[in-house]
Amino acid sequence: MSGESAGGRFLPRERDWHPPALAPDYRSSRLRSPRAPLLSLPSTLSEETGPVFGHVSIGELDHDLVHNYAAAGASALGPRILVHGYVRDQSGRPLPHTLVEIWQANAGGRYRHPNETYIAPLDPNFGGCGRCLTDADGHYRFQTIQPAPYPWPNGPNSWRPAHIHFSLFGEAFAQRLVTQMYFEGDPLIELCPIVQAIPRADAIDTLVARLDMDAALPMDMLAWRFDLVLRGRDQTYFDNRTEGL
């Protein structure tokens, strides 16, 4: 047994493209950031494999945050929006049938959570969670309401830009990723220490969803396009290995 997976090794993560563990302006990172260097080594079978969610039964409304917590006949308050895009790996290959989970605040900027203390009201028809599997082309689609910005206890007057949290699996545990989607034109993006922990402006830009009028539903909902990229395999390594067999 070679100890190699069917797809081959993963490319090393570009650590200077991601936020560092310690970003002092994001206060919570100060005591929660490892200080020793990460132990770097090539991926093994343990990272090149990952859970398969194809069999998980996804409910009919799981992707529909407007309705999945609402009373019968009711819907969540706020601007109705469609959020969609493709999930690919670094070589541009679509990642089909992969689990995408999202969560967000309501249209007043309030989360439905026991630790939440913001004064904005809960919406009795909005839970804030959604999930779907990408289709055969790696495409995902949610309908939800536009979340609002909200204040948070970081500095004396800190506000998060409107955002939707995303959790992705890909096809191997090496690809596991959690990130956040922002909205084009939000002036709070450049003021947010969580966003600005990302060291490069062009990297931040990839987390900003674009208004997508082609996908908007007339008289129903605006659309936002947000594509995601997960780690890719080392094709050079894989090609060489295949030839050597």
Catalytic site positions: 111, 150, 160, 163, 165
Task: Give the binding range for another protein (CB under 8 A) out of 75-83, 98-106, 132-140, 141-149.
Answer: 98-106
Stretch that binds another protein, among 43-51, 137-145, 183-191, 216-224 (CB under 8 A): 43-51
Looking only at residues 186 through 245 of this chain, which bind another protein when binding is defined by CB under 8 A?
A: 194-195, 197-198, 203-204, 206-207, 228-232, 235
Strand 99-103 with 228-230, pairing = unpaired
Residues 100-138 as b/e (b if ≥16 CB within 10 A, e otherwise) read bebbbbbbbbbbbeeeeeeebeebebbbbebbbbbeeeb
Size of the residue set binding another protein (CB under 8 A)? 97
- Closest separation in Å from C-beta 85 to another protein: 10
What would the x/- binding string for another protein be over residues 138 to 157, using CB under 8 A?
A: --------------------
Cβ within 8 Å of residue 224, ≥6 positions away: 81, 82, 83, 84, 181, 183, 184, 209, 210, 211, 212
Q: How far apart are CA 73 and CA 46, in angstroms?
A: 46
Contact between 158 and another protein (CB under 8 A)?
no
- Residue closer to another protein, measured from CB, 115 or 157: 115
